[in-house]
Amino acid sequence: MENNLYIVATPIGNLEDMTLRAIRILKEVDLIAAEDTRHTHILLNHYQIKNRLISFREAAGRAKVDSDIDYIISEINSGKSVAYVSDAGTPGLSDPGQYLVRRVIEAGISIVPIPGSSALATAISIVGFHCQNILFLGFLPKKKGRQTLLTNLSNSQKIYDAIVFYENTHRLIQTLEDLSNVETNGRSSLQIETVVVCREMTKIYEEFVRGSVGEVKEYFEKNPNKLKGEVTVVVKIKK
């Protein structure tokens, strides 16, 4: 196998969503770098993949991330092949993969994407409205700059059909409240037609909640037991 860096997409929930190519690559590489080795072990055991695994976590601090990247690059330069996987989905959107890819490019090493599951693409596929032009925000800021970002989205409504972002379920009701405030903010208002909250996609408790900002917020306020798991939010903008 060539000494490349392989960016491997993994299932966002259902382990059966793993591609045949991804399984083969993870079996054949010399080393797998994982955002969370505990999470990745479950996947590898499911497909009987016995391979060398190292941790590559942003939570460990930037100095540790840089050190891990140095190690990965040295392994590739020594003739080994390395695969990188995040906790779920396609790496590089909300994990340290972006730093790894940039440094590997600078080092002149080839990168091979192994496509597969993506919460972004999965959510867009089921919303039921036109989404040719979308604005993807990743995770919203937790505190500083959050309200400013949402307010400034009003400038985007003539360009985009929808806004998509990931959110922690513990902040979901507050986020819907923030969207409601922005929606009624006078001249800076963001005209929202529909909100779709995609929760636990591909998992046992998969759920899609559609409606106005107020309706979706009321649903989760009445069903606090649903405030669990992974969430992708799609906001349809009025034209």
For 112-166, write each residue's pLDDT tens digit: 999 999 999 999 999 998 888 999 998 888 877 787 888 788 777 778 899 999 9
Which one, of 104, 52, 36, lies nearest residue 74 by Cα? 104
Burial profile 55-91: b = 16 or more Cβ within 10 angstroms, e = fewer: ebbeeeeeeebeebbeebbebbeeebbbbbbbbbbbb
Write out pLDDT tens, residues 11-21: 999 999 999 99
- Work out the pLDDT band at 187, boundaries 50, 70, 90: low
Q: What is the pLDDT of residue 155?
A: 72
Q: Which CATH architecture has domain 5-114?
A: 3-Layer(aba) Sandwich (3.40)
Q: What angle do CA 55, 59, 63 make, to 5 degrees?
A: 80
pLDDT at position 58 over 80 = no
Order across the sheet with 230-237: list the strands: 134-139, 162-168, 230-237, 192-199, 207-211
CATH class of 119-237: alpha beta
Strand partners, 159: none
Three-state DSSP class for residue 107? coil
What CA–CA distance (Å, rounded) separates 56 from 93? 15
> Considering the entire predicted model, what is its pTM?
0.89
Domain boundaries, the chain: 5-114, 119-237
The token pair that represents 16 in the structure block? 């059966």
